[in-house]
Amino acid sequence: MFQGWNALLASVWGCCLIGFTWGQLSDSPDVLRNWCLDSDYHKPQPGPEPQLFSECSPWKERSCCNATVSKLIHHNVKVWHGFQFRHCPPQVSSECLRFFRRDFCFYECSPNLGPWVEFEYARKSRQQRFRNVPLCASECEAWFHACKDDLTCVRNWGSEFDWIEGTNRCPENAKCQLIRDTYADAKDFCETVWDNDFKYTPDNEPCMVLSFDPSSGNPNDNVTEAAISRHMNSINSMLNRQRIMERSFSCRISPSIAVSRGIPKLVCDFSFREFDKMRQLKGKPKETPRQKKERKQDFSPENQHKALRVALPIFVGFWVLIGIFIYLNTRPKH
Ligand SMILES: *[C@@H]1O[C@H](CO)[C@@H](O)[C@H](O)[C@H]1NC(C)=O
Ligand SMILES: *[C@@H]1O[C@H](CO)[C@@H](O)[C@H](O)[C@H]1NC(C)=O
């Protein structure tokens, strides 16, 4: 009997768990730290590319782009994805162009964007994109500074251009104006220009740079590690909660609901003791003082409160299921 209920609860809880972690496309640290976007231009797996060109060369030890793509990014006529920086005449400054090339190399070559990858449904050229990658404030300020006196006609370069004959054009009625008049500040620029690829992040938090000196490794690797360990911690605390939940539920085959001031409450501690007794009767080994202490900690008021907040909705759902079960088993058979 216990087994049955526990399995049922585990599956109900399992659904919640999947719901919680849905945001990220993988829970494997190794997959997350070696991720190349699923797109027309990215390699399937990161690897060494000794021939990477110019602004892309920092990634040569471990790259998602190959030499051909790195050259295309720097090509002035036959450009990457047909994207034209010179969408507002007469031209774009070489300082600004350099930052956008770094940004393109970052996009094509970075193997460490796994934790920020999402599915992309709207485009043919790629099935995945990244979103809210933490970009160091100083890096963003430098990028904005390099481009602020250049011209553009739209705020979101990822979605607002008209694409005609394989290249981006300013939409009709869109006026070319200075980048510094188009965006409120550097943060607005970095976050908006590529449709929230980046999130402006203070330098004292883990954040990425668009270019680096490869002789001391890729500094963005550590930023990915920090994100992975945050993600793993949140999974662990979820599993922990699940453990508490399972215990609190397995104690309650005949649940007692105490109504205090009109609010139904689950009573855990009391019935848990009963379950313990039953477990002893079933001949399971007695818990050590340490296990006992851990169990008590699990049921500290704070954890009880937490468990309750999550438990109540599931608890109600649980009894609805039982109601259905009883109904199905007792309805008149023909
Ligand atoms: C580099 O990647 C591009 C795009 O995926 C591909 O067309 C090209 O053949 C590759 N070049 C080499 C040398 O592997
Ligand atoms: C990454 O972190 C490690 C230790 O956590 C440190 O030794 C290393 O220098 C860092 N790497 C970079 C490139 O910042």
Distance of CA 41 from the midpoint of ligand 1 (Å)? 7
Spatial CA neighbour of 109 closest among 69, 162, 145:
69
Token pair of 327 as six digits: 């109904």
pLDDT, residue 300, reads 54
- Tell me the pLDDT tens digit for each residue of 223-263: 999 999 988 888 888 777 767 766 655 444 334 443 434 44
269 pLDDT more than 60: no
Closest-CA residue, ligand 2 atom 7, reads: 222
pLDDT greater than 60 at residue 276: no
Expressed in angstroms and rounded, the spacing between residue 206 Cα and the centre of ligand 1 is 32
Please tell me the predicted confidence (pLDDT) of residue 270: 38
Phi, then psi, of 118 in degrees rounded to 5? -130, 165
pLDDT of 48 over the 90 cut:
yes
Residue whose CA lies nearest to ligand 2 atom number 14: 219
- Ligand 1 within 6 A of CB of 66: yes
Which whole-number Å values give the CA distances from 34 to 44, 57, 111, 116, 288, in the listed order? Answer: 10, 18, 5, 12, 43
| CA-closest candidate to residue 55, choices 194, 189, 212 | 212
Q: What percent of the chain has pLDDT over 70?
A: 69
Q: Whose CA is closest to atom 4 on ligand 1?
A: 41
Nearest Cα to 39, choosing from 128, 111, 156, 134? 128
Q: How confident is the model at residue 9 (pLDDT cuts 50, 70, 90)?
A: low
For 82, the enclosing helix (H) or strand (E) is: none
Say whether the peptide bond before residue 90 is cis (omega within 30 degrees of 0). Answer: yes
Residue 40 alpha carbon, nearest atom of ligand 1: 5
Tell me, in angstroms, the distance from the centre of ligand 1 to residue 42's CA: 9
CA distance 81 to 119: 19
Q: How many whole angstroms from 217 Cα to the centroid of ligand 2?
A: 9
Whether residue 217 has its Cβ less than 6 Å from ligand 2 = yes
Distance between CA atoms of residues 65 and 110, nearest Å: 8
Task: Give yes or no for residue 214 CB within 6 A of ligand 2.
Answer: no
Which segment of 14-28, 60-74, 99-113, 298-312 scores lowest on mean pLDDT? 14-28
DSSP per position, 304-317: HHHHHHHHHHHHHH
The candidate with the shortest Cα–Cα distance to 241, out of 151, 177, 305, is 305
From the CA of 51, the nearest ligand is 1
Nearest CA-CA partner of 136 in 212, 74, 68, 49: 212
pLDDT exceeds 80 at position 333: no
- How much of the chain exceeds pLDDT 90, in percent? 41
Q: Is the pLDDT of residue 7 over 90?
A: no
Label residue 322 by pLDDT band (50, 70, 90).
confident
Unique residue bearing structure tokens 């590690």 = 225
Q: Please count the residues of the chain.
A: 334
Residue nearest to atom 9 of ligand 1 (CA): 68
Structural tokens at position 47: 């690897």
Ligand 1, pocket-test mutation among 59, 69, 81, 104, most atoms within 8 A of CB: 69
What are the two backbone dihedrals, phi and then psi, of residue 110, each rounded to the nearest 5 degrees?
-60, 125
- Give me the chain's average pLDDT, please: 78
Which alpha helices (DSSP H) does the chain contain, by range? Answer: 2-21, 29-33, 67-74, 94-109, 137-147, 179-182, 186-193, 220-250, 269-281, 289-298, 301-330
Closest Cα to atom 12 of ligand 2:
219
In this structure, the strands spanning 167-169 and 177-178 are: unpaired
Q: Rg (Cα) of the chain, in Å, rounded?
A: 28
CB proximity list for 172: less than 8 A, separation 6 or greater: 162
pLDDT band at 4 (very low <50, low <70, confident <90, very high): low
pLDDT (mean) for 262-287: 45
Residue 134: phi and psi, rounded to 5, are -70, 115
* pLDDT of residue 30 exceeding 80: yes
Interhelix angle 137-147/186-193, nearest 10 degrees: 90
With the most atoms of ligand 1 within 8 angstroms of its CB, the residue from 43, 53, 66 to mutate is: 66
More confident residue, 10 or 161: 161
With cut-offs at 50, 70 and 90, classify the pLDDT of residue 298.
low
Q: State the Cα–Cα distance between residues 294 and 289, nearest whole angstrom.
A: 9
Cβ–ligand 1 distance for 177 under 6 Å, the answer: no
